Amino acid sequence: MSVILEVEHTTIYRYRKPVSFGEHRMMFLPRTSHDIRVLTCTLDVSPDAEIRWVHDVFSNSVTHVNIPGQAAELKFVARVAVEHLGVRNLELPLAASAEVFPFEYSVSERYDLRNFIEPCYPDPNGHLRLWADQFLAQGRHRKTRELLIDIATGIREQFSYTSRYVEGTQSPLQTLELKSGTCRDYALFMMEVVRRLGFAARFVSGYLYDPALDGGTEGMIGSGATHAWLQIYLPGAGWLPFDPTNSLFGGDNLIRVAYVRDPAQASPLTGSYTGHDGDFMGMEVDVKVRKLAVLPTDLQTRA
């Protein structure tokens, strides 16, 4: 079956007196594919603004917003409805050559994946690989999918989730030292760990549906804000989602907006203002993801 999900993403900036604004950059439109279809999309900006859309180097949809004049409050409200077909990624078969770790990507795959295989963050003493060694049996091969699930589960069990509202992402070594982090920190940490094992991995920013908000018994960590996880490329199955924050590996809880090589390339909203020190009073972010309907199999519409 498929489900219809609605996302309402509100961001409000407040200032002590009217200020002028530089261009703002938003990423909120989900990526459409065989498993997710965008049904509706609106963006309301107050005060009135000029809006244009572009694709970045990864073909993510990016919204550029120019706000003329001055204001003491800047408000963005993005609303999106999607049909999520809930592909069961754990059931997708891997190529025979990739079923057991370690394995090698083909020459053509490595050529296209090389920027996602190479680590982005330094680890001069090899601490990230040493952390991964606990999941590698000495002298024994492991089933690839089981290994990656164990690594994601290990992050959730060994680290403590924390909320942090300042911009940016911890380095993987900081997350390892603190044994804590946000969903973005968890995703980056796992991404850099598996890259050191030879996997191609990319960072994913998007939204999380928490069934508990609709009366379900299952509760998700990280709802109420934008969410982050990673995808790992496995031959035969393609790019598969791994959410170490919630131990999710598919289904219809994750709504991807952007995938990138590094988290800094997937900020949900960035921009600037011109004013005096102390003018900025703070910001408020609220993300609501609701289930609107469940469609039987015979009513599914596939893109």
Interval 235-283: pLDDT, tens = 999 999 999 999 999 888 999 999 999 999 999 999 999 999 899 999 9
Q: How far apart are CA 15 and CA 244, in angstroms?
A: 36
User: What is the per-residue pLDDT for 296?
Assistant: 73
pLDDT band per the 50, 70, 90 thresholds, residue 217: low
Q: What are the Cα distances from residue 70, in Å, to 123, 159, 190, 213? A: 45, 44, 42, 37
Higher pLDDT, 1 or 131: 131
| pLDDT tens-place string over residues 82-115 | 999 877 777 889 999 999 999 999 999 999 999 9
User: What is the per-residue pLDDT for 165?
Assistant: 66
Q: Which CATH architecture has domain 89-265?
A: Roll (3.10)
Q: Could you count the other beta carbons within 10 Å of the beta carbon of residue 176?
A: 20
Q: 67 — phi, psi (to 5°)?
A: -110, 105
pLDDT band per the 50, 70, 90 thresholds, residue 297: low
DSSP class of 243: B
pLDDT band per the 50, 70, 90 thresholds, residue 156: very high
Instruction: Outline where the chain has alpha helix (H).
Output: 107-117, 127-132, 144-158, 172-178, 183-195
Q: What are the structure tokens assigned to 110, written together?
A: 């490595």
| pLDDT tens-place string over residues 121-146 | 999 999 999 999 999 977 678 999 99
Distance between the two ends of the chain, CA-based, in angstroms?
Answer: 15
User: What is the per-residue pLDDT for 302?
Assistant: 46
Q: How far apart are CA 105 and CA 72, in angstroms?
A: 53
Q: What angle do CA 79, 13, 42 make, to 5 degrees?
A: 15
Q: What's the whole-number mean pLDDT along residues 24-33?
A: 96
Q: How far apart are CA 228 and CA 262, in angstroms?
A: 12
User: Closest Cα to residue 176, out of 130, 134, 145?
Assistant: 130
pLDDT band per the 50, 70, 90 thresholds, residue 168: confident
Q: What are the structure tokens assigned to 200, written together?
A: 């191609």
- For the chain, the maximum distance between any two Cα atoms, rounded to a whole number of angstroms, is 66
Domain residue ranges in the chain: 2-84+267-299, 89-265
Ranking 49-63, 139-153, 210-224 by mean pLDDT, the lowest is 210-224
Percent of the chain past pLDDT 90, that is, above it, reads: 83
User: Closest Cα to residue 109, out of 292, 233, 272?
Assistant: 233
| pLDDT tens-place string over residues 82-91 | 999 877 777 8
Which residues lie across from 286 on neighbouring strands?
10
Q: What is the CATH number of domain 2-84+267-299?
A: 2.60.40.2250
User: What is the per-residue pLDDT for 299?
Assistant: 40
Q: Which residues touch 213 (CB under 8 Å, ≥6 apart)? A: 223, 288, 289, 290
Please determine, for residue 303, whether its predicted confidence score (pLDDT) is greater than 50: no
Q: What's the whole-number mean pLDDT along residues 24-38?
A: 95
Tell me, rounded to whole angstroms, the distance of Cα 58 from its chain centroid.
14
User: What is the per-residue pLDDT for 300?
Assistant: 43
